[in-house]
């Protein structure tokens, strides 16, 4: 077994052990909460209660008050705020749980323990599938020992670990898998633009958008992947537009995947396209790059410092592998611009910049390129790099535990509370009084 597969086994063991240790499925208020309610509710509504309008929740408001969240329409129907992509990805695990719940003596209502267990381990499975696809992709370009370090850094050294354990069933481990699948198939499509690969890119890309529409920025990789010069870019455009059949297939299947959402919107709202976020919006004229990177509230490199190596790796790609530099650099800049233009750039209650987790699939390439660069240096540099990676993995795992306890607050951290609670296992008296609560109303108006 190669070092890269051993790394996957270590990550899988860590994720499973953490979930078995905490047993969050025993707490009915732990798994299907917050955004997960909005993602998940399509499944019980459709499969169990046979009412996609979700009006059934009104007949038993006490039971469904924290299980079904839908906005009441003038039509009398209720509409879900989130799109249904996560429900599609949850569905195989939901169906297994639904089939087992009754025979195991649990209520087959969509919310008992079998459903919660299924949701938790679905996030682990999708995350591991994403890491496995990255392993397969990276093996084309890097040695196995280099890949192993990168996989460990992403799987245990970033907030992906948090979103397969402490906050399992949120969207990010699932989107991470989809991003990894997209670039894995895209890499094969570039070598052989077959109908089958075009179909897969369309289906995966459509699912990415169905989970989170803004993640459709992943399609920018289509004209840029493996492009290292103006001539190569022109050749790619020629492939896409002068021989358009494969491109048409990609668009067709992407639209096909999104069609159920359009049908649902039309059924419950009377409109084919419906914006369910009310006054929430992007401020594209004011992206908060510095806060997004370095803020103690939720700065990416403050809470996920290992990804600094991926950003440095983009520079390494410029000098060593231009065919990856341009797609990764352009995607990263545009993705950060979109993510940090959202009114709530800290994305509510979360550990670190959760909206960036899916992009770690793309950033695995510069991270591995930087790791390879270090491997070519003297032993002292390699040892120092290993030591830093090990420390950052340990820090991430420790801070994930702090986040579970609230020692790292979900949205109100500042410089004082961060350093006061650094490497602490318990609260210091007066911690709550030092927190810096964000002003959500002001942020909605652009004062972020």
pLDDT for 422 equals 92
What is the SS3 assignment for 168?
A: coil
Report d(CA 380, CA 345) in Å as an integer: 39
| Buried/exposed code over 204-231 (b: 16+ C-beta within 10 A; e: otherwise) | bbbbbbbbbeebbbbbebbbbbbbeeee
Q: Which CB contacts under 8 angstroms, 24+ apart, belong to 387-396? A: 389/149, 389/152, 389/153, 389/157, 389/306, 392/153, 392/157, 392/305, 392/306, 393/152, 393/153, 393/156, 393/157, 393/306, 395/305, 396/156, 396/157, 396/158, 396/159, 396/161, 396/304, 396/306
182 sits in which H/E element: helix 172-191
Sign of CA dihedral 41, 47, 49, 50: positive
Q: pTM for this structure? A: 0.96
* Res 124: pLDDT: 98
| pLDDT at residue 30 tops 90 | no
* Token pair of 79 as six digits: 């509409």
pLDDT of residue 270: 87
User: What's the pLDDT band for 353 if we cut at 50, 70, 90?
Assistant: very high
- Contact call for residues 249 and 198 (beta carbons, < 8 A): yes
DSSP string covering 201-253: HHHHHHHHHHH-GGGGGGGGGTTTTT--SHHHHHHHHHHHHTSTHHHHHHHHH
Q: 50: pLDDT confidence band, cut at 50, 70 and 90?
A: very high
Structure confidence at residue 289 (pLDDT): 97
For residue 246, the model assigns a pLDDT of 87
Mean pLDDT within 54-73? 86
Query: How far is the C-alpha of 416 from the C-alpha of 409, rounded, in Å?
Result: 12
Average pLDDT of the residues in 313-336:
97
First to last CA, the chain: 49
How much is the pLDDT for 385?
Answer: 96
**What per-residue confidence (pLDDT) applies to 257?**
97
For the chain, give the percent of residues with pLDDT over 90: 81
428-447 tens-digit pLDDT: 888 888 999 999 999 999 99
> What CA–CA distance (Å, rounded) separates 348 from 63?
26
Q: What is the pLDDT of residues 69-126, one digit of tens each?
A: 888 777 677 888 999 999 999 999 999 999 999 999 999 999 999 999 999 999 999 9
Domain boundaries, the chain: 3-444
Average pLDDT over all residues of the chain = 94
Instruction: Tell me the C-alpha distance between 172 and 361, whole Å.
Output: 11
- Residue 148 CB: number of other CB atoms within 10 A? 22
pLDDT per residue over 235-290, tens digit each?
888 888 877 888 899 999 999 999 999 999 999 888 999 998 888 999 999 999 99
The per-residue pLDDT for 279 is: 87
- Residues 360 and 158 sit within 8 Å (Cβ to Cβ): yes
Q: Evaluate if residue 166 carries a pLDDT over 80.
A: yes
Q: Span 380-396, mean pLDDT?
A: 96
């Amino acid at each position: 077994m190669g070092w890269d597969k051993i790394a996957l086994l270590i990550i899988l063991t860590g994720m499973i052990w953490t979930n078995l240790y905490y047993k969050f499925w025993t707490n009915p208020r732990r798994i299907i909460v917050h955004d997960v309610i909005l993602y998940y509710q399509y499944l019980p509504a459709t499969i169990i209660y046979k009412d996609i309008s979700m009006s059934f929740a009104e007949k038993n408001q006490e039971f469904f008050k924290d299980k079904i969240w839908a906005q009441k329409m003038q039509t009398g129907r209720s509409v879900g705020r989130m799109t249904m992509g996560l429900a599609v990805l949850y569905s195989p695990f939901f169906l297994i749980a639904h089939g087992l719940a009754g025979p195991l003596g649990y209520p087959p209502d969509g919310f008992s323990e079998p459903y919660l267990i299924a949701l938790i381990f679905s996030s682990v499975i999708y995350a591991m599938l994403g890491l496995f696809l990255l392993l397969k992709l990276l093996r084309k370009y890097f040695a196995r020992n280099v890949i192993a370090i990168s996989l460990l850094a992403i799987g245990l050294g970033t907030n992906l670990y948090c979103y397969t354990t402490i906050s399992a069933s949120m969207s990010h481990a699932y989107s991470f898998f989809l991003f990894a699948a997209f670039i894995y198939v895209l890499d094969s499509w570039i070598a052989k633009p077959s109908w089958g690969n075009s179909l897969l890119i369309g289906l995966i890309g459509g699912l990415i958008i169905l989970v989170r529409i803004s993640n459709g920025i992943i399609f920018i990789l289509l004209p840029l992947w493996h492009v290292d010069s103006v001539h190569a870019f022109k050749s790619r455009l020629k492939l896409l537009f002068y021989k358009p059949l494969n491109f048409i297939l990609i668009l067709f299947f992407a639209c096909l995947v999104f069609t159920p959402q359009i049908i649902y919107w039309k059924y419950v709202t009377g409109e084919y396209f419906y914006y369910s976020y009310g006054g929430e919006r992007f401020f594209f004229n004011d992206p908060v790059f510095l806060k997004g990177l370095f803020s103690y509230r939720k700065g990416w490199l403050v809470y996920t410092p290992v990804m600094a190596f991926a950003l440095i790796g983009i520079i390494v790609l410029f000098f060593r592998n231009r065919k990856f530099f341009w797609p990764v650099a352009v995607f990263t800049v545009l993705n950060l611009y979109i993510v940090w233009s959202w009114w709530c750039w800290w994305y509510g209650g979360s550990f670190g910049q959760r909206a960036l987790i899916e992009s770690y699939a793309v950033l695995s390439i510069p991270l591995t390129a930087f790791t390879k660069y270090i491997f070519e240096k003297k032993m002292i540099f390699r040892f120092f790099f290993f030591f830093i990676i090990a420390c950052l993995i340990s820090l991430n795992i420790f801070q994930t535990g702090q986040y579970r306890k609230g020692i790292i607050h979900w949205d109100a951290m500042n410089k004082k509370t961060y350093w006061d609670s650094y490497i602490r296992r318990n609260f210091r008296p007066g911690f709550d009084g030092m927190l810096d609560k964000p002003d959500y109303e002001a942020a909605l108006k652009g004062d972020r």
